[in-house]
Structure 1
């Protein structure tokens, strides 16, 4: 799925509800919550805080997808083309960091 397609699918989902997109600060709070959930899962899997026996198993992929969903919401609500922004961001990294790390042979 292309990023444009993901943004369109999110827009179709949100557009069926009267409430529509949340205000930017509310979406930022939601993004922060989702990143916190991802951090918790990573900490349980790779950090020093194992899950309690009563806690259900998490899913890193779904936590990342939750973040992608809210990023699409934020971009859509502000009329930002994430695909275009991503391409520009990668060009920046390719130029700025072209010689920053050791390349594989």
Structure 2
């Protein structure tokens, strides 16, 4: 199995996993709490790696990759529970950002051209 998945494939894989259990998906409020928890764990790892707070010797060594994967799992679960296609949501968001913010920051100069 390839380690490269589309958002559709990720959502389908999550759905296959969740669908085997009677409990199914959590409620939207529980999903939001779970997402907040996972993002908090990611923030903690970023702080340990790049911030001023080193880990205690007794703390498990979790990777940023593992924490990002947990966020993706919960995000996919959340989207599935609300019947949202993450590919479509991402496309709408990027279109909005590319339009709204197209002149917001200083662009890198093109080859051979100076910054204007």
- TM norm structure 2: 0.87
- Residue 95 in 1 paired to residue 107 in 2? no
Following TM superposition, where does structure 1 have runs of at least 4 consecutive aligned residues deviating by more than 2 angstroms? none
Gaps spanning 5+ residues in structure 1: where?
none
Is 2:89 aligned against 1:85? yes
Aligned partner of residue 16 in structure 2, secondary structure: helix
Q: Deviations over 1:46-71 (max 9, x none)?
A: 11110112222121011011111111
TM-score, normalised with respect to structure 1: 0.96
Bigger radius of gyration, 1 or 2? 2
Match of residue 27 from structure 2: 23
1:44 maps to 48
Aligned-residue Cα RMSD (Å) equals 0.8
Partner of 1:94: helix, strand, or coil? helix
Greater helix proportion: 1
